[in-house]
Amino acid sequence: MIGQVLSAGKYAAYIWPAYAVSLAGFAWMIIDTLARARRWKRRADRLENEGER
């Protein structure tokens, strides 16, 4: 079943790189976004706590 879905015949050399590029694009967007949000939230929280002391 999976093999049938993934069969791309003579065009496989174009189809799977296209999917890989899309996956890489999404992976970069997700990782960069979450890392950025986590980094700045941590820094803002730390500075806020230091300010309260």
Partner 1 sequence: MFSALANPARFMAFSRWAAPILGVIAAGLIGAGLWLGLNAPPDYQQGETVKIMFIHVPAAWVAMLAYACLGGASFVSLVFRHALADAAAKAVAPLGAAFTGVALVTGSLWGRPMWGAWWVWGDARLVSVLVLFLLFLGYMALRASIEDEAKGARAAEILALVGLINLPIIKYSVEWWNTLHQGESIMRAGGPALAPVYLTPLLLVGAGYCAAFGALWLERIRAEVWRRRATSLALRAALA
Residues that bind partner 1 (CB under 8 A): 5-12, 14-15, 17-19, 21-22, 25-26, 28-30, 32-34, 36-37, 39-41, 43-44, 47-48, 50-51
CB of 25 to partner 1, least distance (A): 4
CB of 52 to partner 1, least distance (A): 11
Nearest in space to 16 (alpha carbons), one of 24, 5, 8: 8
Contact 15, 8 (CB under 8 A): yes
Distance CA 21, CA 31 (A): 15
Both tokens of residue 35?
């890392």
CB of 49 to partner 1, least distance (A): 10
